[in-house]
Amino acid sequence: MAASEATIAGLSDRWAEIVFEDEDAGVEAPAVDDGAATVAESWMLVGRFLTQCLIKVEYMRQVMASAWKPRVMEEGPWSFENCTLLCKEVKDGQLPEDMVLDTVDLWVHVYNLPVGYNTVPVLEQPGNFLGKFLKIDERQMKGPLKAFYRIRVCMPVDKPLKRRMKLIHRDKSWGWVNFKYERLHTFCFFCGLLGHSEKFCLKARNSTMTPEQYPYGVWMRAGQTRGPRLVGEPWLLNADDPPIRLEPVGEAPENPAVEEQGRTE
């Protein structure tokens, strides 16, 4: 074993001195001719499930095919067996294996905003406090003061969920702004991280706190419970199927219940 490692190390040192000038020359990709027919958009996504459990791949394909139809990015987050799917669109010129999947876009309900503070500049603050503010639900910006406001936030999955934020008022007094999350899948009631429950949390196991004392709970979930849907769609392609050209679609479909059935919000 030692002799083989020494041989490999010696070859590596020799190769390091060799320069392949022709490989460094580079080849420039041709420009796209606007007058010629271009390749149809593929809407390619790359993703991973936020779980350490095994995924039933074929059944997952059928479930997600029923869900997507095929516009997906604005209606997430998506899940399979209550495991959050982290996904991003692969743009022209990108390599799927280079995509970093460490965030998820969530709709967040912002509660307890004082009168006169329901403006976009104010609502951007809790969005950036949680992660990265993306947009606000414009339908809620008209009319009287609402019980809560919806903001879209790009949130890191390696940090605990936040329950509330201290908002300093214009007169220098302050109050708490509270959060609830739509389509919040498996997360830990003890540490607040997405991707596992308190039953599998090492910190929870080593803690003397009882489950009733955990800082997180089901009350952080917002939204409605949905029933089951049919699984599978005819547009789902198999590996040996020829490519098809997708026609433009109208309004985005309703996000189905690919999350845990029977869950109480």
Least confident of 6-20, 37-51, 127-141, 235-249: 235-249
Task: Report if residue 241 sits inside a domain.
Answer: no
pTM: 0.68
> Do 109 and 86 belong to one domain?
no
Q: What is the pLDDT of residues 160-199, one digit of tens each?
A: 999 999 999 999 999 999 999 999 999 999 999 999 999 9
Final residue belonging to a domain, choices 81, 96, 111: 96
Amino acid at 10: G
- For residue 33, give both structure tokens: 């001719």
Radius of gyration of the CA atoms of the chain, in A: 24
> Do 118 and 200 belong to one domain?
yes
> Do 110 and 91 belong to one domain?
no
Domain extent at residue 61: 45-96
Task: Report if residue 91 sits inside a domain.
Answer: yes
Decide: 179 and 164 in contact? Cβ < 8 Å: yes
> Do 186 and 207 belong to one domain?
yes
Task: Report if residue 110 sits inside a domain.
Answer: yes
> Do 88 and 111 belong to one domain?
no
Confidence of residue 5 (pLDDT cuts 50, 70, 90): low
Confidence of residue 70 (pLDDT cuts 50, 70, 90): low
DSSP-derived secondary structure for 176-230: EEEEEEET--SB-TTT--BTS-GGG-HHHHT----GGG-S--GGGEES-------
Task: Report if residue 118 sits inside a domain.
Answer: yes
Residues with Cβ within 8 Å of residue 109, at least 6 apart in sequence: 148, 149, 150, 179, 180, 181, 182, 222
> Do 189 and 81 belong to one domain?
no
> Do 74 and 184 belong to one domain?
no
Task: Report if residue 251 sits inside a domain.
Answer: no
Total domains present in the chain: 2
Cα distances (Å, whole numbers) of residue 255 to 58, 66, 67, 138, 248: 20, 10, 6, 20, 19
> Do 89 and 51 belong to one domain?
yes
- 55 pLDDT more than 50: yes
Q: What is the pLDDT of residues 102-142, one digit of tens each?
A: 999 999 999 999 988 989 999 999 999 999 999 999 888 88
> Do 65 and 112 belong to one domain?
no
Q: Give percent above pLDDT 70 in the chain.
A: 68
- 222 pLDDT more than 50: yes
Q: Please tell me the predicted confidence (pLDDT) of residue 11.
A: 62
> Do 165 and 62 belong to one domain?
no
Q: Please tell me the predicted confidence (pLDDT) of residue 256.
A: 41
> Do 53 and 107 belong to one domain?
no
Q: Which residue has the higher pLDDT, 225 or 15?
A: 15
Name residue, tokens 């790009």.
Answer: 154
> Do 200 and 138 belong to one domain?
yes
Confidence of residue 21 (pLDDT cuts 50, 70, 90): low
Task: Report if residue 216 sits inside a domain.
Answer: yes
Decide: 235 and 65 in contact? Cβ < 8 Å: yes
Least confident of 1-5, 57-61, 140-144: 1-5
